[in-house]
Amino acid sequence: MSEFVLWTPLFSFLIFVLFFSVGDWVSNLTKSKVSGMLIAMLLYLVGFQTGIIPASSIDDTGLTALASNFAIMLILVGMGTMIHIKQLMAQWKTVVVALVGLVGLALCSFTVSSWLFGREWALCASAPISGGIIAGQMTSQAALDAGRADLAAFAMLVIGCQGFVGIPICNFFVRKYCNGVLAGSIQMGEIIEVKEEKAKKKLFDFGWMSGDNTIMFKMALVGWLGYLVSLACSGIPIISNLTNANIMYLVMGIVFCVMGFLPANAHVKSHINGFLMLAVLSVVPGSLATLSLEDLINMIFPLVGTLIVGAIFVCVFGAIAGKVLRVHWTISFAIAICCTIGYPGTQIIVDEVVRSLDCDEKTRESIYEHVLPQILVSGFTSVTVASVFFAGIICPLIF
């Protein structure tokens, strides 16, 4: 009879999905106020520090190899197919406010945050603050490749904790804006609608190329082409940073979706999005395995500091852009700070605020239709699009 071994690859995978399931439950119960990823990280942290979970358990699942080899590429190509160009153009003021907020974050990271917390901590926090888990994973992976497990863990901690800063700020200013509209002190403006046009025949738009495997093949092909472009531009000053492989995956996803070669939301339609995200999440606890409790305690000051200072700069720069574009400063604050939240947190905030307004149903609906698109587009602009460029440019400057 063979010897019983508990921590097999299968059992490691079981614990992995269990911990992230617990995170999902907590996130749902708290309406995204508490990050599910943070809960999973804390569970793994306890397991690693007590020795209950072996340090190799994450690698044993095989997910980390999947993430580094092609999961990130497929997700970024898929994210490119999510971009609704006409909606971004219709909400161009929102897009500008969100982007200027990130400019403020970059300025803060290279100046104030670097002076206060150290250059590596400041820059390592900036990419995760600018967006979601993909930007955090890009930073974390770059840190691991450079042999800096501490910075890799720090990047994921920023992702896990940024909601504690961003959600209260966004909630407060969305509420302040809505109450100002009701009081008559703020002019709401017209509701921007995106007109749907009749679907036009696109290049490569063939019905028989819509199977799951075919879509995955096309995504892999587009990703490979993006890699070739990145490779061709490597070594060219400035341009090489702008054509980082991760950036090119996203750009090529946009281009080939517009051409019709890839369907919109390709990663969802191929039914692989959930598993790909699971693979990407494997980087989160893996970076904690080799850290001591002292290492984690030393991260508290730069973690809290970079989040607070970064949020201040993001909001202030967003408000300045809003002032120039005649967007009220309260909603500008909310738009800018959405980079720390993302979907569905952005929608949950608007839903809760509008539901609590003391007004009739017609007025409530009018305010909702005005505010929600701005908040959603802001989160999409920063978390889905800009943060990938941000991380792609910042990471080579850190390591």
Report how many helices (DSSP H) and strands (DSSP E) the chain contains, helices first.
Answer: 22, 0
336 near 98, Cβ under 8 Å?
yes
Domain of 381, in residue numbers: 73-189+202-398
DSSP-derived secondary structure for 349-383 = HHHHHHHT-SS-HHHHHHHHHHHHHHHHHHHIIII
How confident is the model at residue 173, as a pLDDT? 93
Label residue 135 by pLDDT band (50, 70, 90).
Answer: confident
Cα dist. 328→165, 324, 393 in Å? 21, 10, 31
Three-state DSSP state, 55: coil
Residue 1 has pLDDT above 50, yes or no: no
Percentage of the residues of the chain whose pLDDT score is greater than 90: 35
Residue found under tokens 């999409």: 380
DSSP code for 209: G
Neighbours of 204 (CB within 10 A): 11
Residue 347 has pLDDT above 80, yes or no: yes
Selection from 271, 244, 249, 289 nearest residue 393 by Cα: 244
Q: Is residue 137 part of a domain?
A: yes
97 near 336, Cβ under 8 Å?
yes
Question: For all residues of the chain together, what is the average pLDDT?
Answer: 86
Per the structure, the count of domains in the chain is 1
Range picked from 111-120, 150-159, 177-186 for highest mean pLDDT: 111-120
The reported pTM is 0.82
Cα dist. 75→109, 117, 119, 156, 249 in Å? 27, 32, 30, 18, 9
Q: What is the mean pLDDT of the segment spanning 187-196?
A: 60
343 near 53, Cβ under 8 Å?
no
Q: Is residue 1 part of a domain?
A: no
239 near 233, Cβ under 8 Å?
yes
How confident is the model at residue 325, as a pLDDT? 93
How confident is the model at residue 192, as a pLDDT? 57
66-97 tens-digit pLDDT = 888 888 899 889 988 887 788 788 889 999 99
Q: What is the mean pLDDT of the segment spanning 107-126?
A: 94
Geometric angle at alpha carbon 250, from 287 and 70, rounded to 5°:
50
Q: Is residue 244 part of a domain?
A: yes
Q: Is residue 119 part of a domain?
A: yes
Percentage of the residues of the chain whose pLDDT score is greater than 70: 93
Selection from 379, 388, 371 nearest residue 163 by Cα: 379
Geometric angle at alpha carbon 220, from 226 and 67, rounded to 5°:
95
